[in-house]
Amino acid sequence: MSEGHVEILLVEDNPQDLELTQRALRKGNLTNNIHVARDGAEALEFLFCEGAHAIRKIEDGPKLILLDLKLPKVDGLEVLKRVKNDPRTKTIPVVVLTSSKEQNDVVESYQLGVNSYIVKPVNFEGFSAAVLEVGMYWLLLNQAPKMEE
Partner 1 sequence: MSRPSWIFAPVAGMAAVLLGGGTLLGWWRNNEGLKSIVPGSSPLKPNIAAGLLLCGAALAFLSLTGSAKPARVGAALSGLLVFILGGLTLGEHFFGWNLGIDQWLIPQGANGTSQTLRMAPATALCFVLTGILFFAQSQLVPRRLGIPLAAGLSTALAFIGALALAGFLLEVLFGPGWNLLGMSASGVTAAVGFLLLGSGVLALLQSERHLAWSLDAFTTAGFVSGILLVVVAAGMAFTYTRRMLETTTGLIHCQEALGKIQAVYADMSELASGQRVYIITGDEQFLKARELIRTEARDDVLRARRLTSDNPNQQHRLDKLEPLLSQRIDWEERVITSRRAEGFPVAAQLMATSAGVRLSEEINGILKEMEQEEYRLLSQHRKQAEMASITAFSILPMGVFLSLAILSLGLSFLNAGVTEQRQAEKALRVSEKRYRGLFESNPNPMWFFDLETLSFLAVNDAAVRHYGYSRDEFLAMTIKDIRPPEDIPALMDDLSQTSEGLDDTTPWRHRKKNGELIDVEITAHEVPWLGRRSALVLINDITARRRAEKQIRKLNLELEDRVEKRTAQLQTANAELEAFSYSVSHDLRTPLRAIDGFSHALLEDFGQRLPEEGQRHVQTIRGGAQKMGALIDDLLTFSRLSRLPLKRREVNTGRMVRDAIKELDFSHNGRKVDLRIDEVPPCLADAVLLKQVWLNLLSNALKYTRQQESAIVNVGCTREAGNDESVFFVRDNGTGFDMRYAHKLFGVFQRLHRAEEFEGTGVGLAIVQRIVHRHGGRVWADAAVNRGATFYFTLGEKTKS
Binding site for partner 1 (CB under 8 A): 14, 16-17, 20, 23, 69-70, 98-103, 120-125, 127
Closer residue to partner 1, CB minimum distance, 113 or 126: 126
* Beta bridge partner(s), residue 116: 95
Closer residue to partner 1, CB minimum distance, 42 or 105: 105
Q: Which of 99, 84, 83 is nearest to 13 (CA)?
A: 99
In whole angstroms, the minimum distance from the beta carbon of 32 to partner 1 comes to 21
In whole angstroms, the minimum distance from the beta carbon of 69 to partner 1 comes to 8
Closer residue to partner 1, CB minimum distance, 107 or 144: 107
Which residues 6+ apart lie within 8 Å of 123 measured at CB? none
Q: Provide φ and ψ at 94, rounded to 5°.
A: -120, 125
In whole angstroms, the minimum distance from the beta carbon of 16 to partner 1 comes to 4
Closer residue to partner 1, CB minimum distance, 6 or 30: 30
Q: Rounded to 10 degrees, what is the CA torsion of 135, 139, 140, 143?
A: 130
Closer residue to partner 1, CB minimum distance, 51 or 121: 121
In whole angstroms, the minimum distance from the beta carbon of 139 to partner 1 comes to 22
Which residues 6+ apart lie within 8 Å of 129 measured at CB? none
CA angle 26, 32, 34 (to 5 degrees): 90
In whole angstroms, the minimum distance from the beta carbon of 58 to partner 1 comes to 31
- Rounded Cα distance between 33 and 86, Å, is 23
